[in-house]
Amino acid sequence: MGTKGSFRLCDVVLDDTIGQATPDVEHERAVAIFDLIEENTFEPIGHAGGPYRLHISLLDSKLVFAIRTEAGEAVATHILSLTPFRRIVKDYFLICESYYQAIRSATPSQIEAIDMGRRGIHNEGSQTLMDRLSGKIRFDFDTARRLFTLVCVLYWRG
At 8-53, the pLDDT tens digits run 999 999 887 555 667 777 787 788 899 999 999 999 999 998 899 9
Residues 133, 81 contacting (CB under 8 angstroms): no
Q: Name the packing angle between helices 83-105 and 108-132 (round to 10°).
A: 160
E strand or H helix that includes residue 105? helix 83-105
Instruction: Please state the rounded mean pLDDT for residues 102-114.
Output: 92
Indicate if the pLDDT at residue 3 is higher than 80: no
The predicted structure's pLDDT at residue 42: 95
Which runs of E-coded beta strand occur in the chain?
9-14, 43-44, 52-59, 62-69, 74-81, 137-138
The predicted structure's pLDDT at residue 110: 92
Please provide residue 146's backbone torsions phi and psi, each rounded to the nearest 5 degrees.
-70, -40
DSSP per-residue letters across 57-85: EEETTEEEEEEEETT--EEEEEEEESHHH
Is the bond into 51 cis (omega within 30 degrees of 0)? yes
Identify the weakest region by mean pLDDT among 42-46, 74-78, 146-150.
146-150
